[in-house]
Amino acid sequence: MQLLPRNHGRRAEKEISSPERAGRSQEGRRPQESEMRHATISREHFTRLVEEALRDIPRRFRTEMKNVAVIVEDEPPPDVLEELEVEPGDTLFGLYQGTPLTERTWGHGNSLPDRISIYRGPILEACDTEDEIRDCVAETVIHEFGHYFGMSEEEIEEIEEKYWRGESVDE
């Protein structure tokens, strides 16, 4: 897989709300995997959550989403993490690969679809409940399509904040 120079990914510094979430137990030892609290759902269920998030994108944006593939992958490839300089302790929930609409010229055509990868493993690891998974998937899908539309990180964050406050993102 070749990455293009303008790729953007949704990084997430793992929020630490308890010693267990930080990878350390209260006694200071690293907990066993069975002691870690993470939500788990099947790949099929996760894919349905991604499909739901896509349907929730406002129609005026959905009609402009052309020649883009959304893929559910288990983990971000190590070479992608390295190229994007994702530090240990950080992770990647999603990645847009392609040419943003704002950078396309009249000659852009006959090309492979842009690609949005949603990474199941990091999202499940970061979430404790199915509701948290649903929210994280929705925000990641919105974030990556923001890059598809050529938005900056600041513009995407503003849209995400409106989304979570229940405000219209059409304005």
AA letter at 92: L
| Residue 113: Cβ within 10 Å count | 12
- Is the pLDDT score of 2 beyond 90? no
- Higher confidence at residue 19 or residue 81? 81
**Joined tokens for residue 21:** 């979430």
pLDDT reported for residue 95: 95
Question: In one letter, which amino acid is 107?
Answer: G
Confidence grade of residue 164 (pLDDT, cut at 50, 70, 90): confident
Model confidence at 14, pLDDT cuts 50, 70, 90, reads very low
At 153, the pLDDT band (50, 70, 90 cuts) reads confident
Of 144 and 12, the one with more pLDDT: 144
Confidence grade of residue 157 (pLDDT, cut at 50, 70, 90)? confident
As given in the structure block, the two tokens for residue 16 are: 């630490």
- Residues contacting residue 98 through CB under 8 Å, at least 6 positions apart: 4, 68, 113, 114, 115, 148
May I ask the CATH class of domain 30-165? Answer: alpha beta
pLDDT, tens digit (0-9, with 9 covering 90-100), for 26-81: 333 333 444 445 778 999 999 999 999 999 888 888 888 988 999 999 999 999 99
Q: What is the pLDDT of residue 21?
A: 30
How far apart are the C-alpha atoms of 60 and 57, rounded to whole Å?
Answer: 8
Q: What is the largest CA-CA distance in the chain?
A: 61
The closest alpha carbon to 71, from 141, 136, 138, 2, belongs to 141
Distance of alpha carbon 54 from alpha carbon 25, whole angstroms: 37
Confidence of residue 7 (pLDDT cuts 50, 70, 90): very low
Asked whether 49 and 93 are in contact (CB, 8 A), the reply is: no
**Residue-wise pLDDT tens digits, 87-137:** 888 889 999 998 887 887 777 777 788 999 999 999 999 999 999 999 999
| Pairwise CA distance, residues 49 & 133, whole Å | 8
Q: What is the pLDDT of residue 1?
A: 23
Q: What does the pLDDT read at residue 169?
A: 65
Residue of 40, 28, 49, 45 whose CA lies nearest to 94: 49
